[in-house]
Amino acid sequence: MGQMKKSAISWRSIVLLLLVPVFFYSCTASRPVIETGVQPGIDAGAEPGGEAGEQSAIEGGAAVEAVDETEVEPGVDVEVASGVEAEVTPPVEPTSGLRVIGEVEPVTLMTPGITMPARIDTGATTSSLDASDIKRFERDGKKWVRFMVTDRRSGEKKQMECPLSRSVKIKRHGEESLERPVVKVKAMMGDVELVREFSLTDRSEFEYQILIGRNVLEGEFVVDVNRKNVTSPMSEK
């Protein structure tokens, strides 16, 4: 009888020992697993900026805008993509809207078709043109002037005839005054075609055959004395 009790006790003990691990496993398996650093309700597998992330931001009422930012270190040049043209500053003064020219610009006399470098002089009232063999004559009862223009670079000479606009007297210290004829000449500087008065005189001792004064500059050009040949590149030799 005592042996049977010992067998029953040992059988119960074995059953209990077998049931304890099963009970412990069932309790731990029913608890939810939360990963460290992941908020509940958000899919941990969703990549930042992906569809899930955008959808979450929209539902939360925050509009997410993609911004393409490029960091540029100081002193590092940024390469411009091919096909993008650099902005070119036009030869126009921004405040006045006048065309910018330098202290020396090529001027074309339209009738003879001769282009010569001209000195820009804001202190001169009337422009001046190098002329030789100046002769006055009458045509149809009106006063005209015939003169020769020489291209120093090529040696080409052209004769011009223009109606006389007026005459100016040039006073010289200690010498007799000179009278110069003034005629209207059609000339072009850059893309501007103008008909302006030029006094005719011998400028063989001057470096430039044409002197451009304020009567040409006014309302059309502003002078940058630090530049030359802004309207068109030209050799002065």
pLDDT in tens, the chain (237 residues): 545 555 555 666 676 666 656 555 555 555 544 444 444 444 444 444 444 444 444 344 444 444 444 343 444 343 434 443 333 343 677 777 899 999 999 999 998 999 999 999 999 999 999 999 999 999 999 999 999 999 998 899 999 999 999 999 888 778 888 899 999 999 999 889 999 999 999 999 999 999 999 999 999 999 999 999 998 876 655
Per-residue pLDDT at 52? 42
Q: CA torsion sign, 31 to 37 to 39 to 41?
A: negative
Per-residue pLDDT at 97? 84
Sorted by where each begins, the domain ranges of the chain are: 113-132+166-224
Tokens of 15: 């059953």
CATH (one of 1.10.10.10, 3.40.50.2300, 1.10.760.10, 2.40.70.10) for 113-132+166-224: 2.40.70.10
> In the chain, which ranges are E strands?
99-102, 104-109, 114-120, 127-130, 132-139, 142-150, 157-170, 178-189, 192-201, 210-212, 221-224
Rounded Cα gap, residues 208 and 26, in angstroms: 108
Q: Are 223 and 122 in contact (CB under 8 A)?
A: yes
Per-residue pLDDT at 91? 67
Rounded Cα gap, residues 119 and 212, in angstroms: 6
Rounded Cα gap, residues 67 and 65, in angstroms: 6
